[in-house]
Amino acid sequence: MKNHSVKIHADAKMYAGLFNGEQSATLAIDPKLKAYVHLIQGSLNVNGEKLTSGDALLIQDEDQIQIQDGENAEVLVFELTA
């Protein structure tokens, strides 16, 4: 059996979510760190930015990530240390 894992060569936290309709989430992040949001499918708003399938967003100098207004959305969020 193959191992289908992915190596990230940095300290990171990873979050995954499914959003549809009025579901929302707020993630507190250290403003000294960067976060990367990747929308796998669907659409949603991240910190006021509209994302659609395949879009990505780099977030820096922020203390939170607000995810809302999802439409069949699958999203990954990575919080990276420097």
Segment 35-54, tens digit of pLDDT: 999 999 999 999 999 999 99
Instruction: Provide the residue range defining the domain that includes 55.
Output: 12-80
Kindly state whether residue 74 falls inside one of the protein's structural domains: yes
Question: For a pLDDT cut of 90, what percent of the chain falls above it?
Answer: 74
pLDDT tens sequence across 50-69: 999 999 999 999 999 999 99
Distance of alpha carbon 59 from alpha carbon 54, whole angstroms: 16
Of 57, 58, 26, nearest in space to 43 by CA: 57
Note whether 49 and 57 are within 8 A (CB): yes
Distance of alpha carbon 37 from alpha carbon 59, whole angstroms: 8
Task: Kindly report the CATH number assigned to the domain that includes residue 40.
Answer: 2.60.120.10
Question: Residue 1 is encoded by which pair of tokens?
Answer: 């059996």
Average pLDDT in the chain: 91
Number of domains in the chain: 1
Which pLDDT value is given to residue 2? Answer: 67
The size of the chain, in residues, is 82
